Amino acid sequence: MAEATKQDDTAEVTTARLCAVGDLAPGEARRYDVAGLRVALVRIGDDFHAVGDRCSHEDYSLADGEVFAAECQIECAKHGSMFDLLTGDPRSFPATKPVPVYTVVVDGDDVSVVVP
């Protein structure tokens, strides 16, 4: 469920909770459908990254792909394009367009994304 949160005096952001910290093991990726977003949440070590879960090549779930922790990338399981989890940019063909990147908020045990 999306929730409006005031982070300072000027900006109010809306976040949507995805899961608890312990729900994802390091190196794991999982798809979440929240607040109209289709999100691939990836855990690398204690860090979480969220990108659009729709491969920009042919609408395939990126959460089904392999996570490359050292490179901070995820591979599309369908044709092998690698996507940078920090920028959303494809790092190999056949995909040529980026996927969206969402800001992750970890608050206590809750992992959420900022709804754009």
Q: Which residues bind ligand FES (CB under 6 A)?
A: 55, 57-58, 60, 76, 78-79, 81, 94-95
To which residue do tokens 């910290």 refer? 21
Provide long-range contacts, Cβ within 8 A and 24+ apart, for 67-70. 67/27, 67/28, 67/29, 67/42, 69/26, 69/27, 69/44, 69/45
Nearer to ligand FES, 88 or 94 (CB): 94
Nearer to ligand FES, 63 or 105 (CB): 63
Is 49 in contact with 24 (CB distance < 8 Å)?
no
Q: How far is the CB of 1 from ligand FES (least distance, A)?
A: 30
Task: Give the shortest CB-49-to-ligand FES separation in angstroms.
Answer: 18
To ligand FES, the closest distance from the beta carbon of 26 in angstroms equals 24
